[in-house]
Amino acid sequence: MRQYERQIFRVAQHITQNREDAEDITQDAFLKAYEKLDQFQGNSKFSTWLVRIAVNESLMRLRKRKTSKTVSMDADVQTEEGAIPRDFAEWRPNPEQNYNQAELAEILRKTIQGLPPGFRTVFTLRDIENLSTEETAEALGLSVPAVKSRLLRARLQLRERLSRYFHKKEGQPA
């Protein structure tokens, strides 16, 4: 089970956008998998079955939470690895590069978070977690063409939203 823990956590965190929820969902997914192990039919990889459980748990958590559309500007952005020290190596980017990289990461995170849940989930599993189209379809209970369609639409929405942001940013005075 340890080999799947990070993947399940990342899936849950990408869907819920909340570290604490993702930790709870990871535990719940493993518990549910253990309880329902006799229902695993072996038609798919075990990891795909486990991801499907985590996706379902994450979506149920979102429905219960009724997520708001606001994002706190004061809240820290935590990574799975925790805080990364910035002053121990000379080859690291300078403070301006760090800021720009962090700003870009936050823009990407918010843009992905702004996708409709169905598109965001497919995009997360396929492009962030690197599941195959077939594994994504199986994990979400969708057909392969439906996954391809949602993935294309998610990518197009991301491209449109990001290009609008960067075109607007380029036109602003420095």
Architecture of domain 1-66: Orthogonal Bundle (1.10)
Q: What are the residue boundaries of the structural domains of the chain, listed by start?
A: 1-66, 94-174
Average pLDDT over residues 98-125: 91
Structure tokens at 94: 């300078």
Within this chain, domains 1-66 and 94-174 share the same CATH topology: no
Q: Could you please state the CATH topology (level 3) that the domain comprising 94-174 is classified under.
A: Arc Repressor Mutant, subunit A (1.10.10)
What is the per-residue pLDDT for 2? 79
- Buried-state track 71-88, b at ≥16 Cβ within 10 A, e below 16: eeeeeeeeeeeeeeeeee
Q: What are phi and psi of 66, to 5 degrees?
A: 50, 65
pLDDT at position 99 is: 86
**Residue 32 has what pLDDT?**
93
Do residues 107 and 116 touch, judged by C-beta distance below 8 A? no
Residue 172: pLDDT over 80: no
Task: State pLDDT tens for residues 128-167.
Answer: 999 999 999 999 999 999 999 999 999 999 999 999 877 7
